[in-house]
Structures are given as C-alpha cells and as structure tokens.
Amino acid sequence: MTTVRQGDGILTSLARYAFSALCIGVALAFGLLLGLGFEVKLGPVLLLLGVVVVAWFSGPGPGLLAVVLSTLAVVYFWTPPIYSFAVMPEEVPVMLCFILCGLVGMGISLRRRQQERAAEESRAVLERRVVERTAQLRISEERWRNLFETTSVGIAISEPGGKILRANQALQAMLGYDETSLRLLSLTDLMARGSGDGGAEGREGGIELPLRRADGGLLWVSLSVSVIPPSDNSPPLASAVIIDISARRRAIEEWRKGQSEVARATRLTTMGVLAASIAHEVNQPLSGVVTNGQAAARWLSADPPDIAETRAALGRIVRDGNRAAEIIRSIRTVLGPAGDEPRPVSLNEVIRHLVPLVESELSAQSIRLHLDLAVQLPAISGDAVQLQQLVLNLVLNGIDAMRGPSDAERVLTVRTEACAAEVVVSVEDRGTGLPDVVPDRLFEPFFTTKSEGMGVGLAICRTVVESHGGRIWAEALHPRGARFAFALPAADGGGTLPRRKDSRR
Amino acid sequence: MTPAGTILVVDDDEAVREALHSLLRSVGFAVELYGSVPDFLTRGGMPDTPCCLVLDIRLPGMSGLDFQNELARQKIAPPIIFITGHGDIPMSVRAMKAGAIEFLTKPFRDQDLLDAIHAGLEVDRRRREENRDLADLEGRYAALSGREQEVMAQVVTGLMNKQIAVNLGIAEITVKVHRGQVMRKMNAQSVVDLARMADRLGIQPDPTQHPAPRTARV
C-alpha cells in the first residue's frame, strides 16, 4: 500500500505505473493473439484480468491506469469500427459496462489485497511479539534464578506441609546440606527444637530461631514464611526466607556486655564519689566507740570509780558499733556483684537501704531527706544493685543541684507510687532547676552542666531504666527545682513482696 | 586536776558529741554540745570564761574552717581544735595557718585531745589576761587630757622637753608638768615602760611634727 511504501520515492511509483502498462500490454497481446483464432472475444476478458492483477499488485493508481488503457484497447481493437478509437453510439452501453466491470474488478481486487495485507501484517506483529515476550521471559527467568541462587539470603520453596522442594545455594551453604539432602527434609526438621539456647523469638518481619546445621551445630536465623497461593498449574507453596543473624546476635551480645561494663565502671565511679562520704559515715560511729572506750576507762580509774557513767559509755559503744556494722551492710548491698537473673525487687527497700549512704552528704549540705513511699508497692523485676545505683545517682544529682547557698527550703523528696501496671519513682529537689535544653538531652551521654561532671550519670540512669523495660524523664518544678522520675513495669501479676519491717529507726 | 574552763563541742554527729561529752566530763571539764555553727551562735555563743572550741571540719550550714575564718574576721580568736573524719593535708595546713591549736583525725587518742585542750585553755587564759591588761591600759590612756596625749606621743619618740616645747609651741615648764602627769596617770615606771605601752596602744608619732634627727642628739 502507498502508506507502507511511502519512503520508496518516485521511482517505485513509476515502476508500478510501468508494471501497470506492461500488464495491460501483455493482456492485450494475448487477447490479440487468442482473438485471431477464435470468434469469442477473449481480449476484453484478458484485459479485465490484467486490471485485476495490476490492482492486486500495484494499488489503485496503476489500477485506474490499467482500466483506462484496457478501455482504450477494447475501443481500438474490439469495438466497431475496429482499429479506430471512434465509438459507435450503440456500443456506448457496452463500453460503459466494460469500464464498470474493470472498476468493480479493480475494487474487489484492491479490497481483497488490502485484507490480505492487514492479515499478513497482524500475523507478523503477533510473531514479533511472541519472539519478544519469549526473550523477555527468558531474561526474567534467568534473572530470578540468578537472584535465587546468588543471593546471600537463604530461600526455600516448600510444600505447605514444610517439605522442601527447592533450596538455594545460600541456604545450602548456611546449613551445610546439599539441595538433594535438603529435599528429603522439611523445614520443621531443621528447627532445633528444645535446644538449650531458648526458643523462637518473635520479631518484626519474622521469627528468630536456631536451626540445626548438617554438622549438628546451631545457627541463629530470622525466618519469615509466606504462602504462594495456588495457580492454574501449581499447587499452593510456601516460600521461606532465612537470614543468618548469628553475626547480629553476636554483636548484640557484645553490645550488651559493653553496656554492663559501662554500668559497672560507672558504678565504680559513683562508689568513688561516695567513698569519702562512706568513710566519714563509718568513721563517725567508730570514733564514737574509741572515745567512749577511753571515757569509760577514765570513769573506771576515777576514785571512786563511776560505774553508772562507765555503763552508759559501754552502752554507747555497743550502739555505735552496731551502727557501723549496719552501714557496712548497706555498702555491701550496693557494691555486691550484679545478679544475672532478674529478681523481684522492692524499690521501697532499695531506697531505704540507700539512706545510710547519703546521710552524711545530706547533713553536710543541710538537706532534709523526705521519703514518701507507697504502702502497697508492687515489686518490679530486675537487678537490685543496678536499681540502687539508679536511685543513688538521682539522689546525688538532686543533692548537687542544691549545693551552694540558697534561701529555698532544702528538701529532697524521694517518692514511690504505683500507677496502673507501673511503679514510678521520683526524686524532687529544690535546686537550680533544669538547663534550658530539650529535657531528653539531659540523658544523653557526656551532656553535663557540672564543671567536674563527666555527663555519664544520667545516661547510665537511662541505660539502667531501659534495660528494665522502663522510661525516665525530667521536668522542671516551679518556682524552683526539678523532678527526675522513672517508671518500671510491675513484676508479673503486680503482686507485692512480703513486706519486711523497716530495719532502720 | 580540775582545769577551769568550758569546752565547746560543735559536731553534727550525736555519737561523737556524746562520747566527747563523757570523756571531757570524766576529766572535770564543763562541756557544751552543739550540732552546728548556727546552733552554737543562737543557743550558746562565746562565754566570758576561758574556753576552747572543739570543731568538726564538716558541718551542716557552715564548715568548721569557714567558721574559723569568720571568727578571725570578727577579731574573736578563741583557741580551736579541729577534729575531722577525713582530714587531708591541705585542709590541716589551712587550719593550722589560721591559728588552730591542733588538728586531730577521728578516731584520736584521748590524751592528744586533752593535751590540746589544756594548751588551748592556757592560750585563751593568757589572751584574756592580755586583753584585760590592754583594756586597762586603754582606760588609763583615755583618762589623759588631749594635751597630755600629745606630750606622751612626743615623749615616747625620745624627744627632750625643750624640743617638745618647741614642737607644741608651749613653755618647757608646762611640758615638764604634763610629762609628770602622763607618767603618773599611765602608771609608767620609766620612759622605756611608757614607750612599750604606747607601742601596745598603737600610738604613732605624729609625722607632721617630725622630731629632730637622731644624729643631732648624739
């Protein structure tokens, strides 16, 4: 068609018109040759055939030319007067008939040809598309296979029951099985059930569990299974994505260890700060003992010996000795090694045990300690030593805030409350308040407002609170002072610990 | 041994206070106990009898060392014995430089404390006597007339009557009379004695009426 051959130029067009003339010429020649021997006028028929052929092969333009040429040929050779282009009036209808036949023949031929071309073309397009799609599929297939085989993530395709159908190389390498042996197993066979390392842990985007390797070792993985719904030619399947998280677990383990190292170091630092205070605290009753002893000796060697005074001095010796012993006990609680297992802890007890350790510091700063402890306080689960550190840090922080002269009443309030399923401990001071920053920044490591501070105290507090699943916050009080508080989840059931009689005073 | 004197104990720890109370009473001292410096200032204060302060360094409200400075600023200087639970060297140096009698670390030997207290009371007694003498002297000086005080100021610089007369613009005989009055009223045995009194009273020779050069006298 012309639209298809548009770019071919004038030459092609000329060739088509020439072809048209040639065809009609050939038809005319055959017509004349055949016409010589027969009475039947075959010439016009052959010419009509020529028109059809030209229209088929060369399109409408050359077709029209063929109609014109063949009409002229018929007029010249077959209508009387023969060998003249003159047309007798009675022959006009026959001529018009011939022209009409030529045009109709040409039209039918063109139409058929057009349909043929369209069919051909659509077939070609279809074929091309099939070839393209096939290539694309092959590429896609290859790509997916490569992804499946070369990814570092282990992938297994299994039946819904867990029987493994396919396992990629990463999974084989992870578990130390080849694919053939994996195909004999199901996913559940691989799970190291009842292993000493604990069971599966639910995590966002999959569960974490240990798998049994071919060599019997355990491999911690994150496993997420998704169901592939059944399609026309495939039953439902399950795909399991298995990620080796042993490195991550190791890192977390080390991070935890590091955290506890930091906590221990801070504990030592805190204890260092407290050491002077404690020394003073123990030394007071001890010097009381010594001086009372010396006094008793003098009362006895008086003449006459004063027995009543001696007895009173001895009584004070016993009392002061006991006091020293109790301080030592409290220190031992604080300094004791951190327990690995979380235990039920009464925060009230923790706070009461702290009092002897800060008493001298409080007294030196003329600060009154006000304990406002809830009567029925649920126990929380955790490490008593760390919690003691936590409260101690907050109390020392409060004392620091009130250091220096001030007109305000010097009171430090430590309060415990049970709120829903939480235990809230708050330490309130009447000190200088909070620095003008986002309160959360206070708990960042190395943030400090004290000239001699390292800025780890509150950061450690946050670490301890968060490791106990709680939260810590600070707020300024008006007109002055600040409140530092933390909330810890109550231990299971929120039951109270058996209450012990307060051993002090 | 029944030493006269009051021992003022300021310590925030009751156990220490009670023990010191017993110990000091056993040797016959009168003892007063205070829990802090403000407690001492409101309830007690300095007695008029010879006394000795036994001060804890670490006290609520005002530390022992600060109290020592405060007393020195007010020109009240009772003898102070520091007792502390955790004294360090700089602290003890500071205390001793500021005039403390002793710096004891708890627990201390009773005899060390008692010796220090005796020394302290002795110092206080002497200081009180001196203060009494000085007050007496000041009373006598105040009894002099204005002219007599002028003459005394000239006499103690070693000037002769004639020079004093010229300096003050009065007759030599009048100077002689004033001089006799001064010696009598001040109860001075000699000019040297008078000069020592002037020294204690802090009388400075008047720089505007400078005496003749000493070389002229020799």
A295 touches chain B (CB under 8 A): yes
Q: How many CB atoms lie within 10 A of CB B210?
A: 10
Min Cα separation A397/chain B (Å)? 18
A1 domain residue, yes or no: no
Contact call for B110 and A289, based on CB within 8 A: no
Classify residue A499: in a domain, yes or no. no
Q: Quote the longest CA-to-CA distance of chain A.
A: 187
> Does the global pTM surpass 0.80?
no
Tally of domains in chain A: 3
- Which of A29-38, A324-333, A410-419 is the most confident on average? A410-419
Query: Is A505 domain-assigned?
Result: no
Task: Flag if B108 and A287 touch (Cβ within 8 Å).
Answer: yes
Residues of chain B with CATH 1.10.10.10: 144-217
Give the best residue of A291, A301, A317, A402 to mutate against chain B (max B CB count within 10 A).
A291
**ipTM (interface predicted TM):** 0.70
In a domain, A502, yes or no: no
Contacts of A292 in chain B (CB under 8 A): 18-19, 22-23
Q: Are residues A293 and A389 in the same domain?
A: yes
| pLDDT at site A221 | 87
Which CATH number does the domain B144-217 belong to among 1.10.10.10, 1.20.120.530, 3.40.50.720, 3.30.565.10? 1.10.10.10
Angle at A30 between CA A24 and CA A33, to 5 degrees: 140
Same domain, residue pair A190 and A107: no
Confidence band of A196 (pLDDT split at 50, 70, 90): very low
Residues A210 and A269 in one domain: no
Residue A365 and residue A265 in one domain: yes
Q: Note the pLDDT of residue B213.
A: 44
Residue A269 lies in a domain: yes
Contact at CB, A287 and B19, closer than 8 angstroms: yes
* A306 in B contact zone (CB under 8 Å): yes
Q: Quote the pLDDT of residue A502.
A: 40
Residues A126-170 pLDDT 10s = 999 999 999 999 999 999 888 888 888 888 888 877 788 888 888
Alpha helices in B50-171 (DSSP H): 64-73, 89-97, 110-143, 146-155, 161-168
Strand pairing category for B51-56 and B6-10:
parallel
Q: What is the pLDDT along chain B (218 residues), one digit of tens a residue?
A: 445 789 999 998 888 999 999 999 999 999 999 988 888 888 877 888 889 999 988 787 788 888 888 888 887 778 999 998 766 788 888 888 888 899 998 888 999 999 999 999 999 998 888 888 888 988 999 988 888 988 998 888 888 899 999 988 899 999 999 999 999 999 888 888 888 898 888 887 655 554 444 444 43
Pick the CATH number of B6-137 from 3.40.50.300, 3.40.50.10260, 3.40.50.2300, 2.60.40.10: 3.40.50.2300
Is A286 close to B107, i.e. CB distance below 8 A?
Answer: yes
**A58 and A106 co-located in one domain:** yes
Q: What phi, psi does B197 have (nearest 5°)?
A: -60, -45
Same domain, A104 and A162: no
Gap between the Cα atoms of B31 and B24, Å rounded: 7
Contact residues on chain A for B23, CB-CB shorter than 8 A: 291-292, 294-295, 298
Residue A239 domain boundaries = 154-244
Share of chain A above pLDDT 70, in %: 81
Mean pLDDT of A398-422: 84
d(CA A486, CA A101): 105
- B13 CB contacts (<8 Å, ≥6 apart)? A284, A288, B56
Q: Is B110–A364 a contact, with Cβ atoms under 8 angstroms apart?
A: no
Burial letters for A407-445: b for 16+ Cβ neighbours within 10 Å, e otherwise?
A: eeebebbbbbebeeebbbbbbbbbbbbbeeeeeeebbee
Confirm or reject contact between B144 and chain A (CB < 8 A): no
User: Do A378 and A460 fall within a single domain?
Assistant: yes
Residues A278 and A349 in one domain: yes
Name chain B contacts of A318, Cβ cutoff 8 Å.
none
DSSP helix/strand/coil, B93: helix
